[in-house]
Structure formats: structure tokens, C-alpha cells
Structure 1
Amino acid sequence: MFDFSGVGLMDLLPFIAIGFAAQMVDGALGMAFGVISTTLLISLGVPPATASAGVHTVETFTTGVSGVSHVLHKNVDWKLFARIVIPGVIGGIIGAYALTQISAETARPFVLVYLAGMGVYLLWRGATHRHTEREPKIVEPLGLIGGFLDAAGGGGWGPVVTSNLLVQGASPRRVIGTVNTAEFFLTVTISATFLFALGWEAFTIATVGLLIGGVIAAPIGALMAKRVAPDLLLTIVGVVLSLTSLYGLYRALT
């Protein structure tokens, strides 16, 4: 387990900043905590495996705080929540098991191309004010696929579930709040599986910094999701999803 003795505030500050920035985006847009924080941690010299394990551990706490904040701001559609949380947890369990048996990297470029296309489409709809709210029909399969990809591929719950629900016409604020709240239960399931395998080695100085920054930012992100206009929210989601997916595709192919 990580030895906290001798660690000062200056050692933690870069990781606190990363956690804060990543959670601000995730809390307000319903995606990208894992992508942003993992990418920045690796750029600071943290080994990829350590970064991935640490981010999943931190998300257990940040999604809990974010979920409570979204509930308090009335951003959660409880009917939609009930439809995605159980399939999501099941998908997460299957994905965590699959990760120990096979590699999910083969399918990753195809998923990223699909998500980049979804991002461009959402950007167009938000920028041209073509978003008409209606009840989403395809929900449970999204939860199952999103949970599986999140566990097996190191991310995917927010991009897959949030983007597809928005394409179907669901309310941006309600989708973001509901997906964030359901993610807590998914992350607890996945993290428990990995914690059993890895032990407490996932807790490093980077993990602690991410945790502090993420928990501070979670309530602010939920408030932003409530206050920002739907079209603008949809446009920003499209931009973030497109950029992160294209960057992920570049890394997967190089």
C-alpha cells in the first residue's frame, strides 16, 4: 500500500489539477473522466497500467459524489436510471471477466470510429438547434454494451451510453445526470473486481491527487449540467466526444 509519509502539497497539486479538470468535464457532460485523466497521467510519466488501475479506483468515489450532486439538482430521470443500471452492472461484470481471458484492443479502433462519428453528429445537431426531446427507446442494450466496454476496454460507459441516448432525443441534462448516477454502481462493481486482483497497489500519489481534485469538482460539474442550455450542452458533448475518440483512435493505430 502507498506510503503517505513525506508527501507534500506540491507533490499532489499536478494530480489534483488533473482530477479537478477531468471531473468538471465528466460531471457536466457525462463522459471523459477516464480518457482525460489517464492520458494526462501517462504524459506525466505514470505507467499505463498504474494509471488505469488508479483512475478506476478514483471513479468509485467521484461518481458517488457526482451522483449525489445530480440527484440534488434533479438531473436524474429515475425511470431511465432503472433501465440502464442493471444491464450496465451485468455488462461490467462480463467485461471484467473478459479482460482476464481475451484482449479487447482488437475492437477498440472500430468503437472509436463509431464514437467519433456520433460526436460529429451531436455537434451538428446542437449547432443547428435540431435537438427535439423525446423518450429514448433503445436503452437496456446500451447499458450492457457500455458496461462491458468500460470494464474490458478501460472506458466507454459515458461516451457510448450518453451519446446514444442523446441521439435518440433524450434531454441532455437528464441523460448526463442519470448516466453519471448509474456509473457509480457500475464503477463499484468493476473496481471491486480489479481491487480483488490488484490489491491496494492501485493507491499511489497520483490516485490520491485525482481523488481530491475529482471530489471537489463533482458538485460543480452537476450544477453546470443543470444551468447550461440544451443545445450548447449537446454541442460541447459533440466536441469532447469527437476529440477524445479521434485521439484515442490515433493512439490505437500508432
Structure 2
Amino acid sequence: MSERFRYITLATSLPHLGSLFSQAKVPLSEFRLKQRVKMLSPEHQRLLNRVIEVTAWSGVARFANDQDVIRLAKAVIDDLKDNPTLQDLVRARMETRTAIAALRRRHDGQEDAGTISEWGFGRWCRQIETHWTDPGFGLSHFMPWISEANRLIQAGEHIAMERLVLGEVFSQLDHYGAGHEFDFEAIVIYVLRWVIVERWSRYSTDAARERLETLVGDILTPPTAADTARETPRPEEVLS
């Protein structure tokens, strides 16, 4: 079977995920998804895991500092030289992460951006540095969600903040998925959507909401090296 036909077969076998917050349960189990993505070529399976590593919390949480995450992102972008759509997707995710990190740093009392090159990524670093005291860092035109994110962080609305961010990331995936239906990019974007839908579905009950409060509270405080070693799964365990 040719690669093109395999990928068409794979793409058409994946059930529609629906909108992010409409699913009580994910329409495809992790086990079945793992089995299906084995139809990808070995190189594409490797690249898929690289993208997951840099975009999923379970991937970046294993790093001791932000500079290591930035180095990883740059390496993954270089690795995706034949896939410009995925390069742009990783850049956008890192820029979103930088904006959220800036909001949290400011909320925690940081008076300025400091050496933003040590923790920030992408084209908006100088803007954030220059407009540190502006609620949306002067980025509201480019990131319409950022002012609401600032309000939610200030109010301590962790679940609402999580919902807002996941919704924004889901919208990014919709944007970069346009024009890709039966190719490698389409499969990667489907898997990243699945990761987000699965994550949110785990927080649909009251008990899960309490768990989310704890999780998001932990995320606001960077993990120690010991915490990371003890609790964080390896990226390849997410979807390998």
C-alpha cells in the first residue's frame, strides 16, 4: 500500500471529535488511536512524538527551566523543515505559552519582564517587555483572548482560565488544519485535537473539577526537579 493511500485510509478511519466542550467522552480510545497512528511511516511517527513533546504539558514539564523548553522548540521546528504548517503551529503554541507565562509572572508580582529571552519565545517578546504594565501587553489586537485571560488569572478562576486557553489552542489547530485533509499534517493536528479533547473530558465530573483545580494550581508553580522526576510521564508515553 502506498504512503498516500495509507494516510487517506488512516485519516478517514478517525472519528469526528466535535467541538471541544461538547464531548462527555472521547469518541476514540487512546489504545485505538495508538494502533491507528502506527500506519504512519517510522519517520512521521518520530516527528509526531516530537510535536507532542513540545506542545503537551507532560512533555515540557520534565524540563528544569524555560531555556530548555525554548531549545527543544527550536530543535523541533528545525526537525520539521519539510512541514512548514507544523513549524508555524509549534511557533504559535510557544508564543501562546509565552503570553500566558508573562501573565502569570506579572500576577505573581514580577515588576518587569526581566531577561525575557530566558523564558519567552517568538515575535511578541519585545512587545511584552515594552508593554509589561498593559493588561494585554498591547497584544489584544493579535491575541483577542489575552485580556480575558488576564482577568481570569487576577480573579483566580483556574478552571475558566484552562477552558479559555484550551479553546484558543483548539482554534489554532483549526486554523493550521485548513487545507490539510489526508496528509501527515492532518494526522498530527487530529492527534493534537484528541489530546485536548481527552484532557478536558477528564474534568467533566465534580471530582474531576476538583482535580483540575489542584492541577492548575500546581501548574502555576513550576515543579521542582524531584517533582518532575517522580510524577511526569515521558513524552513517548503520551501517544507512542
For Structure 1 versus Structure 2, the TM-score category normalised by the shorter chain is 0.3 to 0.5
TM-score (norm 2): 0.39
TM-score (norm 1): 0.37
- Which structure: greater helix fraction? 1
Question: Highest Rg: 1 or 2?
Answer: 2
Q: Relative contact order: is structure 1 or structure 2 higher (C-alpha 8 Å, sep ≥ 6)? A: 1
